[in-house]
Structure 1
Amino acid sequence: MSSTFDPDAIPSDRQPQGARRPDASSTSEVRGFAIYVGLDEQKARAAGIDLASVVEALRTLTAQLVPGAETSAAVALAPAGIGGRDVDIVRHALTDLTPGSQQETVAKRRTGMMLDLGRKRLRIDERIVPLTYRELELLQFLVLREGLTVPRAQIIETIWVGMDGEVPNERTIDVHVRRLRMKLGKYGDVVRTVRGGGYRFDRQGDVVIRYGEGPSPDRF
């Protein structure tokens, strides 16, 4: 017999972050969970361990906590130099495009917003959006830090410093963002202004990001 997961059955100090009560009308049940670990081989070696040992330790811990629990591990591969936070790259790389999902629907119907970082191409619905080099670099920089507020000074230091031409000030960055939003059209609000903080990329349901081959403008 299957049972429905009830967060209230777990003491408040033991509930996982982000746990939500299923809707009362829902017929779904919890069958497990996924933990995305952002850890590359170089960082693991620096800590005196390898990725296989980390995976095995997590499997052993799960078996000790719940004997008989099933585990499955997958390694996320990304093009060298793509930049961004490890955990975000892993999360996107391992997201399952199940039948009927929003991302699969967008990809099949060629509607919505599709940003292909490998091909350096932005498509909105059926139209390829012509972005300048700076606009594409700016959008990619924010996308690779999805959900994080990026100060204007950091954008300047990463994208403009060391390149030919005049280095913009923070007010000039606002101009570049406005131009980018105009080209994004109905998706302009994916680039949000955080008052006193900078800018943040917030994805909508019909926005798909493809991480392909090719370097990132990031310099870490």
Structure 2
Amino acid sequence: MYGGYQNYNQGASAPPYQGAPQHQQYNPYGSQHPPPNYQGYQQHNPYQQQQPPPPAAHRHPPPPTQQPDLWGWFCAVDTDRSGRISCNELQQALSNGFEKFNMQTVQMLMNLFDASNSGQMVFDDFRKVFDFISQWSRIFQQYDTDRSGAISFTEIKTALTNFGYRLSDRFYNIICSRFANQKRNNEITFDNFIRICVVLNNVTKNFQSLDTNRSGVIQISYEQFVEILFSIV
């Protein structure tokens, strides 16, 4: 038996890639679609201090719905002008003025948004990544009260509690031990915040699919456990 998530109807959802949670509407197992308007990562993220370079000559014309700033970023990191970017190039684009996104989070974003499953992103995939990040940035800023670019044990606990998760301090100690950045006063940076929320949401969705009576407790086989594990790594 496994005792799990006890509260299914409070807080704000943390969707895996369809948009950041909206605090007023919560379904911990549902997905909130992002707002129809795209407003850009830089506008909402105080940690982004660079300005996008002008787009260089590119053999792939920009899509008709492009955002000029994003197209500039895309072209800047697409060094071979292939119209696709790799994980390393995506990491360069996500550099936030303090330090680069860690590669584990970058790889997670590639897996979520690479529509072709080729290990590379076209511009439309790239645009969706920045839309996703801009929305999570607004959430992160609500808890990063000192604007340091990292949040503490108490702040991550407050954030996840507001999302509807009712978890013990033991869980948060594990989270901080696994994800806190020792170079940033053992706090959790924005890239790891995204990773935690996406993984936790995916675990919760898998749990919910088996918790048919919404008791917060399930009984699973070893193989089911392994399937869940490999579906979220």
**TM-score > 0.5 by shorter chain:** no
From the two aligned structures, give the one with the greater strand fraction.
1
Q: Relative contact order (C-alpha < 8 Å, sep 6+): which is higher?
A: 2
Question: Whose helix proportion is higher, 1 or 2?
Answer: 2
TM-score interval for Structure 1 and Structure 2 normalised by the shorter chain: under 0.3
Highest Rg: 1 or 2?
Answer: 1
